[in-house]
Amino acid sequence: MKEPLRNLSLLVDFECAARWCSFKLAAHELHKTPAAVSQNIKQLEQLLGFALFERYARHLSITEKGSELASTVSHLLADLHIKVTALRDDSANDSLRISCTHSFAMKWLVPRLHRYTQLHPDMDIRIDSNDAVVNPSQGQCDIAIRHQQYVAADSGNLLWREQLLLAYSPALLNDRDSRLRQPPGLKRLLRYPLLYEATPENWIRLLQSHGLLEQPHDFAQNYSHAGLLVQAAVAAQGVALLPASIAYEDLQQGRLLRLADTQLSSRYCYRIVTAPSRSVKVSHFIDWLHAEMGHMQQYFEEAQGKL
């Protein structure tokens, strides 16, 4: 670079022009004239010492170096926007932004969130449910609850080690099964459709452990999220191996029944990620999460004893 780049507005103009590959459209977005945008791009090229665009009579073409720079500048501006938004939204201490998966938000967090708001009625809870990985250190949220593969050696931020439970809706059973004095056993339940998330791998693990893998089974229905899988089981679409945390509410309310001696360790868990320095509100919410998980663990232990 011939001299230091002190005018960052040149990068803003360049990023916009690169996105549109047009000075005219960039000028429209930036509320400038095409001539002003063109002049700023030329100035930036002079400072950088290389061309950003190839200029033709009727169109622009971004150069290879220009494309690389545009990608970097785009990410930097996006991070800056996220940080500024976070600082504006979180200037007060009465909001808490939580990022987690759709299934965890819908089937675990939201159904019990009222207990937290009763303890902290002035706290504004904002839940962003998506599967994208966000970074609390960059101000994208205060707490991220991530669904990750379980690693035994990494327990520092562990929230819940997931377990898989074989469960079904009472409405699923046919008349003959309903008349049985005892709940139907594994072999009888396997006659129904076997529901699964993404891949039947967990079913294969369970069937193999019970010596039932060679029998024919109906793997007809596949769901993309655990929450959908639980809803399908509640709707009596078949029998499912369900993540305990996601099925908890429906098991507790009797919408699902659990079969004894069919628990399977999941290869996944939930972990808490925060910025290195935690605020008091973040620490309080994490304490509440662990307490709720403790109540759930106690429920499963007591339910296991009754099976």
- Output the domain CATH number for residue 242: 3.40.190.290
Q: Is residue 2 part of a domain?
A: no
Statement to judge: residues 154 and 234 lie in one domain: yes
Do residue 132 and residue 218 come from a single domain?
Answer: yes
Residue among 56, 54, 271 nearest 151 (CA):
271
Q: Are residues 230 and 283 in the same domain?
A: yes
User: Could you tell me if residue 1 is inside a domain?
Assistant: no
What is the per-residue pLDDT for 80? 83
Give CB contacts under 8 A, 24+ apart, made by 282-289.
Answer: 282/96, 282/142, 282/143, 284/120, 285/96, 285/98, 285/116, 285/142, 285/143, 286/143, 288/115, 288/116, 288/119, 289/145, 289/159
207 within domain boundaries: yes
pLDDT computed for residue 1 by the predictor:
45
Q: Are residues 177 and 74 in the same domain?
A: no
CB 221 within 8 Å of CB 270:
no
pTM of the model: 0.69
Host domain of residue 98: 93-307
| 238 and 168 in a common domain | yes
Residues 136 and 192 in one domain: yes
Q: What is the pLDDT of residue 303?
A: 84
Q: How far apart are CA 111 and CA 182, in angstroms?
A: 31
Would residue 62 count as lying in a domain? yes
Q: Which amino acid is at 297?
A: Q
Dist. CA 74–CA 71, nearest whole Å:
5
Q: How far apart are CA 165 and CA 248, in angstroms?
A: 10
- The CA distance from 206 to 198, in Å, is 16
In a domain, 259, yes or no: yes
User: What is the CATH number for 13?
Assistant: 1.10.10.10
Point out the domain boundary residue: 89, 113, 148: 89
Question: From CA 102, how far away is CA 229, in angstroms rounded?
Answer: 12
Tens-digit pLDDT profile for residues 2-26: 566 777 889 999 999 999 999 999 9
User: Does 63 share its domain with 97?
Assistant: no
* Residue 4 located in a structural domain: no
**Does any domain span residue 3?**
no
Answer yes or no: do 83 and 106 share one domain. Answer: no
Q: Same domain for 84 and 232? A: no
Are the beta carbons of 238 and 171 closer than 8 angstroms? no
Number of folded domains that form the chain: 2
Q: Which of 89, 120, 150 is the last residue of a domain?
A: 89
Shared-domain flag, residues 126 and 224: yes
CA angle 290, 291, 297 (to 5 degrees): 85
The reported pLDDT for the residue numbered 86 is 64
**End residue of a domain, out of 41, 73, 89:** 89
The reply to whether 15 and 144 lie within a common domain is no
Low-confidence stretches of the chain (pLDDT < 70) are 1-4, 85-93, 175-181, 307
The verdict on 173 and 274 lying in the same domain is: yes
